[in-house]
Amino acid sequence: MGIISRALRNLSRRKVRALLVIVALSISLSIMVSIPAGLMANQESTSAMANNLGNTITQTSQSINETLSQIDVSMSSNFAGFGFSQAATPTPNTSGRNGGSTSDVTGPQNFGGFGGAGGGQFGGASGTASPMNQSLYSDIADISGVAAVEEILTASQGSSNQTTTFMGRTFTTLITDYTIQGIPLISELVDGYTVLPTNITAGRNLQAGESGGVLLSQNNSKFFDVGVGDEVKIVNETFTVVGIYSPSSTENIQSLYMNLSDAQRITNNTGYITSLKVFTTSSELVDTVASSISSLHSELTVTTQQDRLNQLQQQQSLYEEALASAQSSLAATEATAIQEIIVVVAATSLIVLFVMLYTVRERTKEIGTLKAIGFSNKVVMGQFLIEGLLLSTIAGVVGIAIAAFAAPTLSSLLLPTVGTQMGFVNVGNATSSTVTLSTTLMLEAMGVAVLLGVVGTLYPAWRAAKIRPAEAMKYE
Amino acid sequence: MSKPVLQIENLNKTYMLGKRLVNALTNLNLTVNKGEFIAIMGPSGSGKTTLLNVIGCIDKPTEGTVTIDDVNVTKTPENKLYKVRRDKMGFIFQSFNLLPYLNARENVELPMEGKIKSREERKKRASELLNLVGLSGRENHRPQRLSQGEQQRVAIARALANDPAIILADEPTGNLDTKNKQEIIKLLANLNLNQGTTIIMVTHDTNAALHTERMLLLKDGKIVKEKEGLHLAKKNSKCPHCGAPIKITDDNCQACKKPLFQTDELFAS
């Protein structure tokens, strides 16, 4: 009959009490496990959020630096209308592109013309881009301070109409299926500037001098149902998909990229572009170059990136605020967690303490008898310590089992969710991190359970050991 | 000549009862030889149980010496006394004091735990002892399934566990009916006779006391009278009424049918 089996029999002797204690202890232990688990999840998600924010901030900084030296140039809206009607007059080759974009909205190719396409590139300045004769603007490259000029043809393509009724009248709008971005694939631009998407998720990017290849966005890839290496029909020509990119926040999710000459050919716009992007040699020269362009071509809208810069900087400070608020929110959660753990640890020790004190009191006579028949103080103390340990160990196992199922619920009940006040900043959400119990955490919790068992039983066991047998015998 | 197993010299024991100082034992001297069967009698509050507790090393005397097997236990430090209790003493209590969650054999094994390492050996000895007190076959019964007489037998077996120098019995028949009283007292008398166990028994029961060799009357913490007992088991006594030989199992004389123990007037004169 060992000391442990005696302890077990004593526990089973008072089944209801043992059960109540185990339930109470296991609940507090499961709380004790869930809080750090929840805290860890919160820390994880906050650090993920901080990472995301950090990346966004870096990206934004890069955008700011890049855009600082850029100027967007497009046909002023004043000229948009007659830019086409007069097309026959100033440009000798427009006869070749008969009606190329004026009224072909319902034409056989269902080519949507240039309307509304400009918005894709860096949230471009003007909503409606009109075609510009490429040859007329070659002088821009000669302006001092201009490093490079990117000629862009943007054209949206739709296949279906959406009709809306407004105040009794019916309007028909073309739904854009994709937007063609024609970019000159010359090594000066492709290798020297960011003129193509950078986030390639499959295949490769377009290369200088390439023709007949197309870079699709993930949306395009779904729309055409094609992958890298497949052939895809754009307007009326077949292209090979060289790669797929994931659009950045400044790229149009419907844009597909190809060589400018390919884009011009398939849209019947040879010699025409919709916008220019002018790269200056330094950001200080931007204003000078912009006014030079304006004075050379009064019909053009010249936009520097000052507005965009302001916008980006504002965004930047929002991101930084969001990060700071998430961090302070995490700090607050950590403080709450520590307080709760202190309360639970204290409560658990007190439960063990009172139950074991009661047990010792109740068994005073038994203790007296054991001592009278030759049990040492050490053995008597050990007997009660082992009972307390058994109780807390069983409760520990049960508590961890409860926590394994209920940790997410418990931690969400007990801990404030770490989040950012910048609700609209879509950079990570604390609640998305799952609360999981690691083996280390479970073992630690078991250790804490055993420790609390010892701490709570130490005093009652000591009391038991100090009982004087002669007096204990009189106790009923 | 037997050698003394217990020597008590100038024993004083005082304690505080509220604000009153109580002299539980006063200048008490006693020598008990090995193999003796002694009854300590006396009215309530005369110090019987205190004397027993001091002998059993579960209470400390205020003054005086107690020597057990040539060892002065009053000088033994508190943390070593458990060994004296375990190896030299066997306690029998009025209310048996068995552990309810252990069966008969496990209760008997308890005192051996610190002394006999082998679990098998403990089991074997416990079974033998239960056999000796007439409980063979009931080893696995828990106390609540045993009669009171049987429970006291288990307690006696437990007291014998470590082959003690002295068995201290505090009112061992106090909670028993007449039939069980007789059986327990005969069991103790037989153990004394056959095993040579020294027994010191506190009792109110003169009938039980007559089975011993020596009866001590305690009053106000002092031994005021000493008489010789009958110790029927040892002395082959004769019926005080008709002179016929009597046996330990007899309650009444086989010849004259008169009760053998009408001893209320024992300490009267």
Strands (E), A211-318: 213-217, 231-234, 237-245, 255-259, 272-273, 275-280, 300-304
Same domain assignment for residues B81 and B144: yes
Q: Are A377 and B79 within 8 A, CB to CB?
A: yes
Cα distance between residue A215 and residue A196, in whole Å: 9
Of the partner residues A13, A372, A468, the one whose CB lies closest to the CB of residue B91? A372
Question: In this predicted structure, what is the pLDDT of residue A129?
Answer: 59
Tally the domains of chain A. Answer: 2
Phi and psi at residue A150, to the nearest 5°: -105, 120
Q: Which of A232, A266, A281 is the last residue of a domain?
A: A281
Q: What is the number of H-type helices and E-type strands within chain A?
A: 12, 12
Tens digits of residue pLDDT in A123-152? 333 334 578 888 888 888 888 888 888 899
Residue B128 sits in the same domain as residue B176: yes
With CA atoms as reference, the chain B residue closest to A465 would be B79
Q: Are residues B220 and B91 in the same domain?
A: yes
d(CA B78, CA B90): 18
How far apart, in whole angstroms, are the C-alpha atoms of residue A257 and residue A154? 10
* pLDDT > 70? residue A115: no
Nearest to A143 by CA among A299, A302, A298, A281: A281
Residue listed under structure tokens 């109470």: A24
Token pair belonging to A215: 């870079």
* Nearest-by-Cβ selection for A373 from B79, B91, B100: B91
CA distance A340 to A31: 9
Same domain flag for A75 and A54: no
Give yes or no: residues B157 and B247 share one domain.
no
* Backbone phi and psi for residue B68, each to the nearest 5 degrees, phi listed first: -120, 125
Shared domain for B121 and B243, answered yes or no, is no
Interface membership of A6 toward B (CB under 8 Å): yes
Residue A253 or residue A86, greater confidence: A253
Q: Are residues A191 and A229 in the same domain?
A: yes
B53 and B161 housed in the same domain: yes
With H, G, I as helix, E, B as strand and everything else as coil, classify residue A427.
coil
Cα–Cα distance, A297 to B252 (Å, whole number) = 145
Kindly state whether residue A296 falls inside one of the protein's structural domains: no
Q: In a 10 Å sphere around its CB, with 0-12 CB exposed, 13-18 middle and 19+ buried, how is residue A256 labelled? A: buried
In this structure, the answer to whether residues B228 and B128 fall within a common structural domain is: yes
- Could you tell me which of A254, A117, A471, A448 has the C-alpha nearest to residue B15? A471
- Range of the structural domain that residue A53 is part of: 3-58+316-474
Give the C-alpha distances (Å, rounded to integers) separating A217 from A63, A201, A225. Answer: 20, 9, 12
Q: Is residue A419 part of a domain?
A: yes
Kindly give the pairing relationship between strand B4-17 and strand B63-68.
antiparallel
- Residue A24 has what pLDDT? 85
The closest alpha carbon to A409, from A44, A30, A46, belongs to: A30
Distance from CA of B33 to the nearest CA of A (A): 22
* A441's tokens: 């955490």
Range A417-427 average pLDDT: 47
B204, B252: one domain: no
The Cα A51–Cα A45 span in angstroms is 9
What local confidence, expressed as pLDDT, does residue B120 receive? 93
Based on the domain organization, do B163 and B255 belong to the same domain? no
Partner residue facing B85 (CB), from A6, A372, A473: A372
At A174, list the tokens. 């073309």
Nearest CA in chain B to A9: B101
Picking from B161, B157, B160, B153, the residue whose alpha carbon sits closest to that of residue B181 is B153
CB contact under 8 A, B114 and A373: no
pLDDT string in tens for chain B (269-residue length): 578 999 999 999 998 888 888 889 999 999 999 999 999 998 888 899 999 999 999 888 999 999 999 999 999 998 889 999 999 999 999 999 999 999 999 999 999 998 888 999 999 999 999 999 999 889 999 999 999 999 999 999 999 999 999 999 999 998 888 888 888 988 998 889 888 899 999 998 877 887 888 989 999 899 988 887 777 666 666 776 787 776 655 667 778 877 765 544 455 54
pLDDT at A213: 93
Q: Are A241 and A216 in contact (CB under 8 A)?
A: yes
Contact: A372, B58; criterion CB under 8 Å: yes
3-class DSSP state of A375: coil
Mark which of A221, A256, A281 sits at the end of a domain.
Answer: A281
Asked if the Cβ–Cβ distance from B86 to A374 is below 8 Å, we say yes
The residue of B17, B83, B99, B158 whose CB has the most chain A CBs within 10 angstroms, and thus the best one to mutate to test that interface, is B99
Confidence of residue A1 (pLDDT cuts 50, 70, 90): low
Q: Looking at beta carbons, which residues of chain A come within 8 Å of B108?
A: none
Strand (E) or helix (H) holding B210: none
User: Measured between CA atoms, how close is B112 to chain A, in angstroms?
Assistant: 9
What pLDDT is recorded for position A215? 94
Q: Do A388 and A14 form a contact (C-beta atoms < 8 A)?
A: no
> Tell me: the pLDDT tens digits for B31-76?
999 999 999 998 888 899 999 999 999 888 999 999 999 999 999 9
Do A229 and A329 fall within a single domain? no
Residue A399 lies in a domain: yes
**Structure tokens belonging to residue B44:** 């309530």
Order across the sheet with B214-219: list the strands.
Answer: B89-92, B166-170, B198-202, B37-41, B214-219, B222-228
Whether B64 and B148 map to the same domain: the answer is yes
On whether both B42 and B129 belong to a single domain, the answer is yes
**A13, A369, A468 member nearest B101 (Cβ):** A13
Pairing of strands A275-280, A70-75: antiparallel
- Residue by residue, DSSP assigns B30-48 as EEEETT-EEEEE--TTSSH
In terms of pLDDT, which residue wins out, A224 or A58? Answer: A224
Same domain, B103 and B220: yes
A8 to chain B: closest CA residue: B101
ipTM score assigned to the predicted complex: 0.88
The rounded distance, in Å, linking the Cα atoms of A215 and A219 is 11
Average pLDDT over residues A58-69: 73
Could you give the CA distance from residue A100 to residue A297 in angstroms, rounded to a whole number?
24
Q: What is the chain B residue with the closest CA to A14?
A: B101
Cβ–Cβ pairs < 8 A, chains A and B: 74
Place of tokens 């999981």: A436
Q: Distance (Å, rounded) from C-alpha A192 to C-alpha A195?
A: 9
A470/B59 touch (CB, cutoff 8 Å), yes or no: yes
| B29 token code pair | 């001297």
How many residues does this entry show for chain A?
Answer: 476
Most confident of A102-111, A298-307, B226-235: A298-307
A79 and A161 fall within a common domain: yes
Count up the domains in chain B and report the number: 2
pLDDT at position A91:
32
Neighbours of B148 (CB within 10 A): 15
Q: Which chain B residue's Cα is nearest to A472?
A: B58
CA A58, CA A259: separation in Å to the nearest integer? 30
Q: How far apart are the first and last CA of chain A?
A: 26
Give the residue from chain A lying closest to B167, CA to CA.
A373
CB contact under 8 A, B83 and A374: yes
On chain B, the residues whose CB falls within 8 A of the CB of A372 are 56, 58, 85, 89, 91, 97
Q: What is the pLDDT of residue A88?
A: 31
Q: Which residue has the higher pLDDT, A383 or A165?
A: A383
Q: B-contacting residues of A 413-442, CB under 8 Å? A: none
Do A185 and A113 belong to one domain? yes
Angle formed by the axes of helices A15-68 and A377-414, to 10°?
Answer: 40
Residues of chain B positioned with their CB less than 8 A from the CB of A370: 110
- Show the domain range for B38: 4-235
**Does A117 score more than 50 pLDDT?**
no
Same domain? A54 vs A83:
no
A15 touches chain B (CB under 8 A): no
Helix (H, G, I), strand (E, B) or coil at B158: helix
CB of A17 within 8 Å of a chain B CB? The answer is no
pLDDT digits (tens, 9 = 90+) for A36-61: 888 888 788 777 777 777 777 777 77
The answer to whether the Cβ–Cβ distance between B82 and A377 falls below 8 Å is yes
